[in-house]
Amino acid sequence: MPRLLAGLVDDAAVFPPGSAALPDAVTAHHRHRAGWYADLVGPLLLPASTLPDLPELLAPEATLAVGVIGDVPVGRLEAALAEADPRLTVRQVEAPVAKRGEDPQPGLADLVKLAERLGGTVYAEVPLTFGLMGALDALAEARAGGLPVAAKFRTGGLAAELFPTPVELAAVICACRDRDLPFKLTAGLHHAIRHRDPETGFTHHGFVNVLAATLAATGGAEVDGVAELLAATDPLRVVELARSHREAERPLWVGYGSCSISEPLTDLIRLGLVNGGFEE
């Protein structure tokens, strides 16, 4: 697995649209961790509310690296983490700080306080609406002060307005670049190259587009150039940019959650960015 792609895809099997049952997701994740493509796969992402159900699914000697998604209030989230089975290694905690149109600062302040008491990285999911830049400033300030915090953005969903335009996403990537602020993405990144979903009519961002756009941004490109890469539907340019950085560490973009591991892996193989065969 090229270094550029290491840990790119977190295993979000239990989340829509995959919505796998928890026992099936745990079994499949162990299989991914044992596969030849294991270096592509990040932790298993699980809602905080499911943590009490995990012990009975793990063998006595088993361990499991997880990312915990905050589907409960911050106070209960901290309690859920404290009570988690010791066989779990919590690699990261991700939680929304506000709904679209709400001021993100109060929720962000609560999450930063949580980060002060936890060991792993905390990702604040910030809506791409009101108060975005102020929230990024606050995160960057907390990170500069030594806290393991970073940003998370939603790039899709069940409504058209949840899909940022290439210019909007480019502006966010450049804003994170300017603040030296790592970020994660979630939702909508089902395939490598930007495409229109025939069932919904929504145009989805491609994860290789995002990879190329982030490489360009960290190389000094401004919003218009970054947006051009995000908008590309011809794979040639974005794939070549990614290929030229295959053995470099991926800058800024930590990765994204996908309910399927096979889909992104298959796309990477078809585009020639990964060598190998895949068996589900």
- How confident is residue 278, by pLDDT bands cut at 50, 70 and 90? very low
Is residue 119 predicted with pLDDT exceeding 90?
no
**pLDDT of 98:** 96
What proportion of the chain, given as a percentage, has pLDDT over 70? Answer: 99
**pLDDT of 80:** 94
- DSSP, residue by residue, 147-190: --EEEEEE---SSGGGS--HHHHHHHHHHHHHHT--EEEESS--
**pLDDT of 277:** 54
Residues 6+ away with beta carbon under 8 Å from 223 = 167, 170, 171, 174
Name beta bridge partners: 186.
154, 257
Is residue 73 predicted with pLDDT exceeding 70?
yes
Is residue 280 predicted with pLDDT exceeding 70?
no
| 88-112 average pLDDT score | 95
**pLDDT of 118:** 87
**pLDDT of 120:** 81
CA atoms of 239 and 242, how far apart (whole Å): 5
| 241-269 average pLDDT score | 97
Convert the pLDDT of each residue in 170-186 to its tens digit. Answer: 999 999 999 999 999 99
What proportion of the chain, given as a percentage, has pLDDT over 90? Answer: 92
Is residue 138 predicted with pLDDT exceeding 90?
yes
Average per-residue pLDDT for the chain:
95
CA atoms of 80 and 226, how far apart (whole Å): 39
| 68-95 average pLDDT score | 94
- Please give the DSSP secondary-structure letter assigned to residue 103: -
**pLDDT of 177:** 98
